[in-house]
């Protein structure tokens, strides 16, 4: 078995979303593109290595970070019985939206089962690749969403049991719907960071 702590810089790529409201022949369609700041992500993992005396290992991980909105580009069209009668567009910062009582910041908690292959190339250096499947719990989202991940990294043995390393991770989360009635496209994010672990 092994345990591992992780810290890294998480960057969410721009996210597209849309919503629509209809009443009495009128229809309001709105679209947005949300841009997010990068944030520190913290994680932990516990697992089993050298499965069947091979380089395969499996771990269960938890990652937490804040999705801080930087700005959002909004566009809207008002139509009546299929005829567009007005459009509007604008860019708003997170501070401007907060002044209007709207926040699109979200705490994100991700749970994943990961499978890795460790390449035994050196007594101290161990590069690896991996994949993961799990759930993303996004604040203000209506449901937890499926998350797929890819990992690559390298660990360096400080002692027989203690190691440090660097890793990169790519996440893809199924597009959620939120409490504001906005339907989002799939969310993609990546992180680069450091790990420290202990092999039992």
DSSP string, the chain: -EEEEEEEEEEEPPEEEEEEEEETTEEEEEEEEEEE--EEEEEEEEEE-SGGGSSEEEEEEEEEEEE-EEEEEEEEEEEETTEEEEEEEEEEEHHHHHHTT----EEEEEEEEEEEEE---SSSEEEEEEEEEEEEEETTBSS-EEEEEEEEEEEEESSSSEEEEEEEEEEEEPPPBBTTSPEEPPEEEEEEEEEEEEE-
The pLDDT value recorded for residue 187 is 93
**Contacts of residue 54, Cβ cutoff 8 Å, sequence gap at least 6:** none
Residue-wise pLDDT for 13-56, tens only, equals 999 988 887 777 777 788 888 899 999 999 999 999 999 999 99
16 backbone dihedrals φ, ψ, rounded to 5°: -95, 145
Residue-wise pLDDT for 184-194, tens only, equals 999 999 999 99
The pLDDT value recorded for residue 105 is 78
Residue-wise pLDDT for 103-157, tens only, equals 777 899 999 999 999 998 878 899 999 999 999 999 888 899 999 999 999 999 9
pTM of the full structure: 0.85
């Amino acid at each position: 078995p092994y345990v591992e702590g992780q810290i890294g810089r998480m960057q969410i790529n721009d996210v597209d979303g849309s919503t629509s409201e209809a009443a009495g022949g009128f229809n309001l369609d709105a679209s947005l593109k949300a841009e997010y700041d990068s944030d520190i992500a913290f994680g932990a993992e516990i697992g089993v290595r050298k499965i069947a005396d091979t380089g395969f290992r499996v771990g269960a991980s938890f990652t937490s970070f804040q999705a801080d909105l930087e700005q959002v580009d909004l566009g809207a069209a008002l139509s009546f019985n299929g005829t567009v009668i007005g459009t509007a567009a604008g860019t708003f910062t997170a501070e401007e939206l907060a002044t209007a009582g709207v926040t699109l910041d979200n705490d994100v908690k991700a749970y994943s089962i990961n499978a890795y292959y460790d390449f035994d190339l050196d007594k101290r250096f161990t590069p690896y690749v991996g994949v993961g499947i799990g759930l993303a719990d996004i604040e203000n989202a209506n449901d937890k969403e499926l998350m797929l991940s890819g990992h690559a990294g390298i660990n360096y043995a400080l002692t027989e049991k203690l190691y440090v390393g660097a890793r990169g991770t790519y996440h893809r989360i199924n597009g959620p719907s939120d409490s504001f009635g906005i339907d989002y496209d799939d969310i993609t994010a990546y992180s680069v960071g450091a790990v420290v672990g202990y092999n039992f």
